Amino acid sequence: MNEQSVEYYGAYYLGALLAAKKVIEQYVNKPWQGENKVYREAELTLITRDKRSMQLFMGGVYDICYRNHERDKKGKLIKCEAYFADRRTEFREVR
Integer Cα distance of 90 and 74 in angstroms: 38
The pLDDT tens digits along the chain (95 residues) read 566 788 888 888 888 888 888 888 888 777 777 788 899 999 999 998 998 999 899 888 888 999 999 999 999 999 999 999 988 777 776 66
First CA to last CA distance, the chain: 59
The predicted pLDDT at position 13 comes to: 86
User: b/e map of 5-42 (b: 16 or more CB within 10 Å)?
Assistant: eeeeeeeeeeeeeebeeebeeeeeeeeeeeeeebbbeb
3-state class of 37 per DSSP? helix
Integer Cα distance of 36 and 66 in angstroms: 12
Digit-coded pLDDT (tens) for 55-69: 899 888 888 999 999
Which amino acid appears at position 54 of this protein?
M
